Amino acid sequence: MRLIVHNMLTCNIKGVVNKFPLRIEAEKVIKKEVDFNPDFLRHMLAKIEWKALVDGARSMGYTELPDQLESEESYSFLKKFHHALLELHLEEGSLVCQETGRKFPVEKGVPNMLLHEDEV
């Protein structure tokens, strides 16, 4: 699971208000390089929840992102954004609901968001 996906996942347990973001507990993280596409990245800057991305990246061991979005979209900033958004993979770990503490397991890179019967 990459952070671009984490940035859209919410806790859909019935009644939960604080559904986003899910906290990441990382057990195994791998890095895979992908092509740098600055136009796409600039387009994404407007859509991404920045704090969730920064916290998520930190949980996966990457601390280079600035706390605030930079107004000047320099090359070096976009490279860090690219790396955090698209090149970090959570292979094993959990996504934790901040309100209920419920853990959604991530195995072989796939988060399991299926709810139990009493959560629906």
Residues binding another protein (CB under 8 A): 1-2, 4-5, 7-10, 12, 19-20, 32, 34, 37, 39-40, 44, 47-49, 86, 108-115, 120
Minimum CB separation of residue 4 from another protein in Å reads 5
Minimum CB separation of residue 108 from another protein in Å reads 7
Strand-by-strand arrangement of the 103-107 sheet: 23-31, 88-96, 103-107
Minimum CB separation of residue 76 from another protein in Å reads 21
Eight-state DSSP code of residue 20: S
Which residue's CB is nearer to another protein, number 65 or number 86?
Answer: 86
DSSP states of 47-106: TS-HHHHHHHHHHTT---S-SS--SS--HHHHHHHHIIIIIEEEEEEEEE-TTT--EEEE
Minimum CB separation of residue 13 from another protein in Å reads 10
Which residue's CB is nearer to another protein, number 36 or number 77?
Answer: 36
Cis, bond preceding 38 (omega within 30 deg of 0): no
Which residue's CB is nearer to another protein, number 8 or number 66?
Answer: 8
